[in-house]
A and B are shown apart, each in its own frame.
Chain A
Amino acid sequence: MSNDEDILYMVKQAQTLRKIDPCGAKAWILTAQTLYPNAFNIQYEAYLLERDGKNYEQAAKYFSIIAANFPNQHAELWQEINFLTNALRNENENSPEQEYYVNLYKHLTPEVQHNIFMHTINNCGDNLEQCIYIYILMFNKFPKTAATQAPRLLEMLAEGMKTDPDLYQRILVEEVLPMIQHKPPELSPLLACRLYTNSLEYYLRQIMDDNSDSSDAWKNIFKVLMICGQMMGWEPFLPFSKHVSQNVYWEKLVDILSASPAGSSQVLFYATTLFIYSLHGYIRNCRLKIDDTEISHVLVEGFMEWSAEEVDRTSEVQTMEPPKFSLTTSISPELSKAFLHAAQCWQLLNTDQFQRDFSQLMLALPLAPWISRFLFDLAIYFGHRDEANKLMAEMTTESSLVQSLQILSLNLMQGSMTLQGFQCILKILGELPPTHGQQLDNMTLKGHRHMIFLPLTRSALVQYCTRAIISRISRKLFEPPCSDRLLGDLLVLLQINLLDDVPLIQQIFNLINQRKTFNMRTLSNYIITIDIMEELNFMWNAQQDETNFELTGSSPGGSATPLIVGAVPPQPRRIGTRGADKGARDEFKALIRQQISRCNENIITLLANFITQEQLTLGQYIFGIPQPPPIETIVIK
């Protein structure tokens, strides 16, 4: 018999006994081992016997012999090594097989353990994923190896990102970075930057997918930035804390910027991170949740108090200085801060030194929806109307309500209302959200262009639309002649907030006073504010003695529900002031009393109805044409 036949014979004898007489099988193998110590079959069979008997110590002994003496050649050995490494990777799996391999591993000497990892890594071939997992396993078991081997692992990860970014980003961020964070290896700047970008992308996706608290993600981003910065010898940036004001970060950035050469990558990455952080704060606050209801905020143009003398000067100032933000809601200061910080970073990053690298970075990151929103708001903010129009066409995700609002705002920025703008008002009123909300302060300011973060609530939207119409029509007061009807309708609109427009109201009453007769067709339907009715009442009483004043209101019995005006308006009823008609006087008193009883009605709903009902008349005032086209034919966009 030749040696090979002898070996096969003995192994076969052992195999036939393995199940029925393990001791007999072992006796065969012990003998065979002394005869042919270099035969793989025999050593492997010896290992299998101990494996079957769960004798970890002996199994580990034979496994070590096999691994040391028979590298790379035998499929059986590789299979065992694969089982072993898989078991180590899933240490909490708890199957008997898994338990065996974990115990086997524990009985191997550290040297053999390490060799197994290195052999496996060297023989992974094209299996990048397996190779990476073995590296991770080795770093876990032998933390010291990370110092020398980490660069190769990181290169592999960068390689893997080209084919499966999701998988390898996750591995990088969740498994590899935590292992090397205490002692980051030296890497080429290119690779370090790429790994940071990849980590950033991973966390941004996490932030975008998950609306919960993102401060952990930001903490991690700053940590990774720190690690990558260490790899490249950058001056360390600040650690993240959600309580630290963005100003602090910005000042640190300015410090670093002043000490760095133009276009330095540390400034690029720090500024980009800060930009995205501020941008995220801005976008997140724009979609604030209040009592489980998401209330979006939309950046819109604020109103300026109009006065005939100041027209020229204001238009000049408007172009010179950036606008301010009105303090409208509790969230508006934070929103404006985040917006301004993002804008600062954006401007820095769009200077010549960074622009090229920055735009490449932006392409690599999944920020498109945020950026398009931000750029549009930025264009509005700077009053770049054409730019805003162009960006508006590119934005896709917003609701038609937001879009109408933004078009209206663009319209108002131009200083005149187009037909499209007016149609937007009607559209907005047709799509009012259910959330009621509150009216805003400081929507109209004196003398300076300003911006408003408008919450998408009924009150704020109706207020904004009403304001838009008032700002258009009110200048007619100073362009006589203006009709009774215009004065009356303006009074209805001004009910939104009398205190904001005291001069206008005074002007209207002045004009009414100057007239002999005044027909107020809207009185019985739309005037419910006590101050206005008191004024009318006073005027009526005061002028009773004068010979020639008539105040006409609608008939009190004209409609059961005054807010819903029928197709045929009730016949106006003249109320004479010549004193003779005592019935008329009673009738006027009754009318006033009836309207006073409605003073608690919802002014927002009333005005929304008024504008919708009277759209033809209002359009006529604004555009000065007799018959604006019917609403049905309006197509926005």
Chain B
Amino acid sequence: MSSSVEGTNISIRNYPTCAVDALTRLEGLVATRNKQNWAMKIISEVIFLEPSEGDARSRKSQGLPTSQMNLFQEFQLIIALIEYFSRPGSDATRNAIFLSLFGSNLTPQRSKLLSRLISTAVSGSVAPLLSSAGTWMQQVGCKTPPSLEVAQNIVSDFILFSKKTSEQLKQLPLVGPQFAANFMVAVADLYLNEQRDGTLIPPPDALLDAITEWITENPTLCQASQQPLVLPAGAIAMPFATPISGLLRWAVLAPLISQRSAYSNLHLSLLQTLQQLVCSGEAAALHAQDLMQIVKSLQNHCTRLTEANLSPDADAAYQKCMERFAQAVQIALNTNCITNPIQLLCMLEALPPHALMKIVLAAHKKL
């Protein structure tokens, strides 16, 4: 094992000082595209203390663990990163560093460390780090496994293992609006998602309440992800995601499994959010495909009803779902927020009827 990384003067002996030095050094490297490999090497070996390829091979053959990092070092690195991201500096540099650290080569070790880092940033309200994390989430995709893992970890740390919702989580939309929006996209995908789980699993009550409070008190929060990203030169910004469709799925499908009035509040907040959206054709907030997920679950429910010889007309849960769905569709259509509306309307017409849905469909067919 060499005491310094090849081609650099950075010693890995005095960790984490060497990691901090490496971060500073990286600032210059990530700006120039042709030194990427070198940068990757420094990140891997100096910051995450990963063995070089040859090293790893030899360790593997000896039956030793490939990771060099122990729990204490992990802790030291998290502190170092929090400190580093809290330093004054440009957003572009911070985002570039964050993406370099976690954008690719996301080993299980890095992934675990990332989740811990973000949870720490949430509880410490470290705004610059959360801002970079928000950008990262969007670039890797909010519904991809790394993002879902981060979201799941936050739910565990702040909802499941916490007796009452922490103030830091409540304040998250103010500290990191973009991160909060992307977190909602991810977390919405985790629950009441029949396609994913094969059944409808409700979100924890505290999570539902927290999110309802977020969007009720911050009516523009769902659009926070639409802020332009500050990316390193040459990087391509990934498409925006909005939590509206996912949360709408919660509100619409909730009557099938829960009577909680919190869903009614969430639903109203979503309607108000939709009402305030100013949509251009390009940046539509709701994609018909996202709403299809809701249609599919409703169809499944009706199929189950038919199998049990029940009529959807007489099923209060279904009627309530359709009532909310029709309301949301009407308001979204009214503000022109749905892509491919014709396709959606056809799908809706195929569902067992509901009085309001009929009114809504009739109103928009005329157009």
A21, A30, A31: which contacts B264 (Cβ < 8 A)?
Answer: A21
Q: In the complex the two chains form, is A31's CB within 8 Å of B267's CB? A: no
B261, B331, B355: which contacts A31 (Cβ < 8 A)?
Answer: B331
Which residue of A is nearest B264, CB measured?
A23
Is residue A238 within 8 Å, beta carbon to beta carbon, of the partner chain? no
- Complex: A332 Cα to B331 Cα, angstroms: 90
- Complex: A136 Cα to B340 Cα, angstroms: 58
- Complex: A1 Cα to B193 Cα, angstroms: 35
Q: In the complex the two chains form, is B363's CB within 8 Å of A24's CB? A: no
Q: Which stretch from B22-30, B54-62, B148-156, B322-330 is at the chain A interface? A: B322-330
Is residue A118 within 8 Å, beta carbon to beta carbon, of the partner chain? no
State the Cβ distance, B354 to closest chain A Cβ, in Å.
12
- Complex: A31 Cα to B274 Cα, angstroms: 11
Q: Is the interface of A mostly helix, strand, loop or mixed?
A: helix
A6, A9, A10, A26: which contacts B268 (Cβ < 8 A)?
Answer: A26
Is residue B200 within 8 Å, beta carbon to beta carbon, of the partner chain? no
Please tell me the size bucket of the interface on B. 20 to 34
Is residue B199 within 8 Å, beta carbon to beta carbon, of the partner chain? no
- Complex: A211 Cα to B359 Cα, angstroms: 76
Is residue B92 within 8 Å, beta carbon to beta carbon, of the partner chain? no
Is residue A27 within 8 Å, beta carbon to beta carbon, of the partner chain? yes
Q: In the complex the two chains form, is B359's CB within 8 Å of A30's CB? A: no
State the Cβ distance, B216 to closest chain A Cβ, in Å.
10
Is residue A282 within 8 Å, beta carbon to beta carbon, of the partner chain? no
Given A34-B334, A35-B359, A35-B360, A27 and B271 contact (CB-CB distance below 8 Å): yes
Of residues 5 through 56 on chain B, the ones whose CB sits less than 8 Å from some CB of chain A are none
Q: In the complex the two chains form, is B265's CB within 8 Å of A31's CB? A: no
Given the complex, which residues of A lie within 8 Å of B271, measured CB to CB? 27, 30-31
Is residue B171 within 8 Å, beta carbon to beta carbon, of the partner chain? no
Q: In the complex the two chains form, is B330's CB within 8 Å of A21's CB? A: no
Given A6-B359, A35-B360, A27 and B324 contact (CB-CB distance below 8 Å): yes
Q: In the complex the two chains form, is B327's CB within 8 Å of A31's CB? A: yes
Q: In the complex the two chains form, is B264's CB within 8 Å of A35's CB? A: no
Is residue A139 within 8 Å, beta carbon to beta carbon, of the partner chain? no
Is residue A105 within 8 Å, beta carbon to beta carbon, of the partner chain? no
A1, A6, A30: which contacts B327 (Cβ < 8 A)?
Answer: A30
0/1 interface trace, chain B 245-274, chain A, CB 8 Å (1 if under):
000000000000000010011011001100
Is residue B275 within 8 Å, beta carbon to beta carbon, of the partner chain? yes
A13, A21, A27, A30: which has the most chain B beta carbons within 10 Å?
A27
Is residue A203 within 8 Å, beta carbon to beta carbon, of the partner chain? no
Of residues 1 through 40 on chain A, the ones whose CB sits less than 8 Å from some CB of chain B are 1, 6, 9-10, 13, 21, 23-24, 26-28, 30-31, 34-35
9 other A-B residue contacts (CB within 8 Å) besides A23-B267, A27-B267: A21-B264, A23-B264, A24-B268, A27-B264, A27-B327, A30-B272, A30-B275, A31-B326, A35-B330
A-B contact pairs, 19 of them (CB 8 A): A1-B358, A1-B359, A9-B355, A9-B359, A10-B356, A13-B356, A23-B261, A23-B265, A23-B267, A27-B264, A27-B268, A27-B327, A30-B268, A30-B272, A30-B331, A31-B271, A31-B326, A34-B334, A35-B359
Closest 9 CB pairs of A and B: A34-B334, A23-B268, A23-B264, A31-B327, A24-B264, A23-B265, A31-B330, A27-B268, A27-B327
B residues in contact (CB < 8 Å) with A: 261, 264-265, 267-268, 271-272, 275, 324, 326-327, 330-331, 334, 355-356, 358-360, 363
